Amino acid sequence: MKKTIQQIKEKIKEGKATVLTAEEVTQLVMNGEEPTVEDVDVVTTGTCGIMSGTAAIFHIPVADPGAFKKAKNILLNGVPGFPGPCPNEWLGSVDLMVYGTSHSINDPQYGGGFLFKDIVRGEEIEIEVEDLEGNIIRSTATLDDFGTAQLIGTRSAFKNYTAFINPSFESVASIFNAVKMDGPFKGITFSGCGELNPLQNDPQLSFLRKGTRLLLNNSEGLFIGTGTRSTPEKPNMMVTADMKEMDPHYMGGFCTGAGPEVYNSVATAIPILDNEILQQTFIRNEDISLPIADIRGRHSVLSQTSYAVWRDTDERPLYEEELCQNCGTCLVEERCPTRAFQNHNLNQAQCFGCGMCAYTCPFGIFQMERGTVSMDWEGETKTLEVSCRQSDIKRARELAHELKNRIQKGNFLISEF
């Protein structure tokens, strides 16, 4: 049996469409069922994680028209931007681009990802412009003042990622761990949301094509093509959406051993036109390869595991405050990559579920099942605990369910080609 997009749209309009998340489909299969094209109309997918290829394009007011000719340099909350390409001569406003990976000149733990979250939250942003003559113009603005605020992910939601270990005795600073990674074999760090990830469920890009609608940080946006470094074996997505429609819950900054990074959340919808498309969504975490590489040389694969590392783990830590030893310097506060733990308080809304708190605290104040990985190394088996997850399965699930709800209510249109 085959269906058309129009038939699926009619079922959605009539409130008769069956929409499932990719995890819900996989669970049916794991329970011994095998749904057919007659049973499922749309499958939603989602991912949340560090997406270094993120940038924002802004047009912001700075001063009255005629106050300066052209911006030479610009800072937003101390984070450098790149003025242009339009010079906006004498207009008092600036076009600019800011990278999600840019670091503040004032605070080494604050960068583009944290800035983007603050902007979307409606915070007042401090602007500093240096014009061509060296004059400094300072002002403030909120998102409501921005003429344009467009986020673009130049490479997002890779079909697959690499896990990293440190087999050496020397600590290694890297974007692939929240802090310098100790060794040898003191833990393993990984990214990717496995069976829920968009490109695991449409690996041949059968439906994810240029112009496909999606959610980027809960703002309806577009898939505009495969991104930088995309290959047929390991595709990724270039995506964009309006920041004015985004939810700050799904985006933000994440500090790593090499400085602050940026995370985003992406959800897509796959219309089930035939059984072949549906069967692509049957994939389980256990079936998805996760290469393990030395963090000092990310292309040298040492071993293989799978995304079963997500199975039977906790989304968030349990914080037992009454057991706190009130250390003079709290390592968890220092290391928490999203600043969710401050002043002995765990902000669950800001938590990323990375597991760094449970890995770090020597007194076990944070309880969290993070998973383990076994690998062979020089004739012996090494069992490694997950020290840092750089993807957030909880936010990914939430956005996949949000997209499911929008489709069921008729508030999200399935793309037609």
Residue 105 lies in a domain: yes
Residue 191 lies in a domain: no
CA angle 50–52–55, rounded 5-degree value: 120
**Residues with Cβ < 8 Å from 164, sequence gap 6 or more?**
174, 176, 177, 181, 188, 189, 190, 292, 293, 294, 295, 298
Number of separate domains in the chain: 1
State yes or no: cis peptide before 85, omega within 30 of 0: yes
Residue 68 lies in a domain: yes
The 10s digit of each residue's pLDDT in 188-223 is 999 999 999 999 999 989 889 999 999 999 999 999
CA distance 261 to 34: 40
Residue 139 lies in a domain: yes
Residue 333 lies in a domain: no
Residue with tokens 């490694």: 384
Residue 141 lies in a domain: yes
Residue 64 tokens read as 């009255």
Residues of the chain with pLDDT under 70: 417
Residue 98 lies in a domain: yes
CA distance 50 to 109: 15
- pLDDT at residue 417 in the model: 65
Global pTM? 0.96
Cβ–Cβ < 8 Å for 43, 91: no
Domain that holds residue 79: 56-151
Kindly state the percentage of the chain with pLDDT values over 90.
Answer: 92
Residue 262 lies in a domain: no
CA distance 137 to 320: 48
Cβ–Cβ < 8 Å for 130, 136: yes
The 10s digit of each residue's pLDDT in 241-266 is 999 999 999 999 999 999 999 999 99
